[in-house]
Amino acid sequence: MAFNTTSSAGLSTYRDQHFRGTLAEQERLLRISTTMYVGNLSYYTTEEQIYELFSMCGDIKRIVMGLDKYEKVPCGFCFVEYYKRADAENCMRYVNGTRLDDRIVRTDWDIGFVEGRQYGRGRSGGQVRDEYRTDFDAGRGGYGKIIQQKVEGVASPAPFRRPNKSL
């Protein structure tokens, strides 16, 4: 396993637009947080795979998988919470930008998991960025939702639903 040693443990410029509070309060919480947002996961990446990679940086308190808000299936992100800030900083330094399940994962600081945040915020139920993708990505369900609707001839803006694989 190769670690990406060029990334730092500093704060990114991204800020959660749904945060209820001031920008200063959000930044204060990010600076003491032990929680990482992990994005660009395959829809097929398991919690066990995440645990195996991220536990290399320290003891994990919990992992919360991101779910499609309609179908309740993984939608490509999760939260990893460590017990110690130093372990989370190691995650930012060494895991951000590494390959997991044939995808380059990205990590960012998060103020801490709150129930309800595990659901995608896009109109289709998943992540907003997946709605606008124009490339085909098998690990993320094919084309972006908007392109997929055009390809399939769906004209209405109805939410995208993944087929029920249990049938």
Q: pTM of this prediction?
A: 0.65
* 3-state per-residue secondary structure call for 120-152: CCCCCCCCHHHHHCCCCEHHHCECCHHHHHHHC
Indicate the range of 15-19, 96-100, 129-133 predicted with least confidence: 129-133
Q: What is the pLDDT, as a whole number, of residue 88? A: 96
Q: pLDDT class for 9, splitting at 50, 70, 90?
A: low
Choice between 130 and 113, residue whose per-residue pLDDT is larger: 113
Backbone dihedral region of 95: left (phi > 0), alpha (psi from -120 to 50 degrees) or beta? alpha
Strand, coil or helix: 17: coil
User: Which tens digit of pLDDT belongs to each residue from 75-101?
Assistant: 888 999 999 999 999 999 999 999 999
* Highest averaged pLDDT of the listed ranges 25-34, 98-107, 116-125: 98-107
Average pLDDT of 109-123?
Answer: 69
Cα distance between residue 112 and residue 88, in whole Å: 12
Cβ(117)–Cβ(22) below 8 Å = no
Res. 152: pLDDT tops 60? yes
Rounded distance between C-alpha atoms, residue 93 and residue 20, angstroms: 28
* Share above pLDDT 90 across residues of the chain, in percent, rounded to a whole number: 32
The helix/strand/coil state of 74 is: strand
What's the pLDDT score for residue 24?
Answer: 81
pLDDT of residue 134: 61
pLDDT score at 164: 52
pLDDT at 73 over 70: yes
